[in-house]
């Protein structure tokens, strides 16, 4: 079963590698860079944090990112220890610096979908845009051949769970609802 999943992962990445174009290369490098260290999601939290009525949403976004990092980057990656595809067969197609950490789950995807889950629950009007951008970041990780499709699928699931966990956690901490 694991061999069949790995074969499917490899087939998808080979197909994506064949679809590279100069324009898409630049676009995907840019999109993935906005997800580096959660940059775009930190930026999204700032306007929320500045407005009293939305402050809890801003803190919940930050809490979701923290929970996602603890779960994915600091725990699951070090248990699974999956080698990235670019370390195996796709190094000649690498358009970004080879990420130093393990592959499973995708940290960019986990953080992005943690934020998307919070946004869907707490600010539904922004949810479609956030979900679309989270999807673009996730796709960029596949396009750039630094993650397998199953890394991204797991990142989506873990991210949504982290976002949903962050909502009651952030709401239970009085500090997150202070007024300026």
**Pair 75, 126: CB distance under 8 Å:** no
- Global pTM reads 0.89
pLDDT tens profile 16-32: 888 888 999 999 999 99
- Return the pLDDT at 51: 86
Higher pLDDT, 89 or 124: 124
Q: Which of 5-9, 80-84, 87-91, 159-163 is least confident?
A: 87-91
| Token pair listed for 101 | 């950490």
Residues 6+ apart with CB under 8 A from 84: 98, 99, 102, 103, 146, 147
How many other C-beta atoms can be found within 10 angstroms of the C-beta atom of residue 7? 10
CATH class of 33-174: mainly alpha
pLDDT higher than 60, residue 76: yes
pLDDT higher than 60, residue 119: yes
């Amino acid at each position: 079963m694991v061999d069949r999943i790995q074969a499917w992962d490899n087939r998808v990445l080979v197909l994506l590698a064949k679809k590279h174009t100069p324009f898409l290369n630049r676009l995907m490098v840019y999109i993935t860079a906005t997800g580096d260290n959660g940059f775009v999601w930190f930026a999204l939290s700032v306007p929320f944090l500045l407005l009293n009525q939305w402050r809890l949403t801003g803190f919940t976004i930050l809490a979701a990112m923290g929970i996602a990092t603890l779960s994915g980057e600091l725990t699951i990656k070090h248990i699974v220890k999956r080698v990235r595809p670019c370390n195996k067969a796709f190094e000649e197609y690498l358009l970004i610096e080879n990420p130093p950490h393990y592959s499973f789950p995708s940290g960019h995807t986990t953080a992005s979908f943690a934020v998307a889950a919070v946004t869907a629950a707490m600010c539904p009007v922004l949810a479609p845009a956030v979900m679309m951008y989270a999807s673009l970041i996730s796709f960029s990780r596949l396009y750039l051949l630094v993650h397998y499709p199953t890394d991204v699928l797991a990142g989506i699931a873990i991210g949504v769970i982290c976002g949903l966990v962050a909502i009651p956690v952030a709401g239970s901490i009085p500090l997150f609802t202070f007024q300026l």
